[in-house]
Structure 1
Amino acid sequence: MTISELKTDRLLLRQWRESDVMPWAAMNADPLVREFFPQVMNYEQSAASVAYFSAELAARGWGWWAVEEVATGEFIGFAGLDPVDEELPFGGVEIGWRLARAAWNHGYATEAGHACLDYGFDVLGLAEILAITAVGNDRSRAVMHRLGMSYDPADDFEDPTVEGPLRHSVVYRIASPRAG
């Protein structure tokens, strides 16, 4: 399978490299980056997630891409599309992102999100793409809004894969502008 790469003016969404593991692990050890996840991740967990994301990209050609800043070649996080976890009460394909704190407030999540939406609609032919987050994650919800996604409180749910206050989750949706 050919692995798709997505390029914007400032970002390259690409296959993972061994050199991404250390900065990815540092990101996942940052309590602020992981504020809306059950816990921070250790190095071994982060390395395992890179191996998993890389294998999924190789098998499908799309998924959770590593995000690199084009101007510097620096790894800054991940973004992509992935089938919704089967434990959730609905199906579909979700969009997501996670960036190192130093990459926040530059519009990178929105820029990567637009590239992923275009890929999902134009290449994969998806009719709809979802985004899921904990109810209190205002930063991600703002990105979802900037991407043109809609929120309906009737879609709120308790995530069975999460314990505690982060369990209450919201769903944003966007329909393909190409659907007719």
Structure 2
Amino acid sequence: MTELLTPRLRLRSWRPDDLAALSELNADPEVMRYIADGSVLSPEQSAEQLARFRRLWDEQGFGLFPVERRDSGEFLGWVGLAVPAFLPEVLPAVEIGWRLKRSAWGHGYATEAARTVLALGFEELGLDRVVSICHVDNHASANVMTKLGLTLDRRTTVPSHGGAVKVLALTGEDYRSAAADRPRF
């Protein structure tokens, strides 16, 4: 697994000691409001999630990075790439996504980390297309997606819970054509 650095952030591999911070993130109702059916996760569910995050790196060669501030080491959440199996109609696809704790909202961390992950996806992994999926009312995430250059692909519902979502997409061709305008980390 690769470690990525931005001016303010470190994206690194998952460690067992990340469980407490991940559990706290997943237990915040405001953070989870637009995730799946909006339910918070128990500590046991977070432990299963952490094990899955680590396993997917081995199985797929990409995944979700824990994000921490470089100056303090503070855990902010995660950003990364995953296969969006919860939305079969967009498959095959790779999704870029993020989940940050409330105190990290509004500081540009999601955009900063996601730009670096997009570079990894398109430049290192050779992806042809990346999607991002958010609840139709999650305007903050939709704004990050737009800043990253993704455009609306479709509106649909998630089969498992019937939630309305927007799917935005960015092709490798569009990513490369905007390279001159993109900040490099």
Q: TM-score, normalised by structure 2?
A: 0.88
Structure 2 runs not aligned, ≥5 long = 178-185
Question: Which residue does the alignment assign to 1:169?
Answer: 165
Cα deviation per residue 1:99-141 (whole Å; 9 max; x = unaligned)? 0111111100000110111001000111111000111111100
Structure 1 runs not aligned, ≥5 long = none
Matched residue count = 172
The answer as to whether partners of 1:4 and 1:62 remain within 8 angstroms in 2 is no
Provide the secondary structure at the position in 2 that maps to 1:4.
coil
1:1-180 alignment runs, 5 A limit: 3-37=1-35, 38=37, 39-85=39-85, 87-91=87-91, 92-152=93-153, 155-163=154-162, 167-176=163-172, 177-178=175-176
Provide the secondary structure at the position in 1 that maps to 2:176.
coil
Provide the secondary structure at the position in 2 that maps to 1:178.
helix
Which stretches of structure 1, 4 residues or longer, exceed 4 Å deviation after superposition? none
Q: CA RMSD in A?
A: 1.4
Whole-angstrom CA distance in 2 between matches of 1:96 and 1:80: 6
How far is 1:9 from its partner? 1.0
How far is 1:26 from its partner? 0.8
How far is 1:178 from its partner? 3.2
The answer as to whether partners of 2:94 and 2:131 remain within 8 angstroms in 1 is yes
How far is 1:86 from its partner? 6.2
Cα deviation per residue 1:74-102 (whole Å; 9 max; x = unaligned)? 11100100122165212111000000111
The answer as to whether partners of 2:86 and 2:158 remain within 8 angstroms in 1 is no
Instruction: Read off the aligned partner of 1:173 and give its amino acid letter.
Output: A
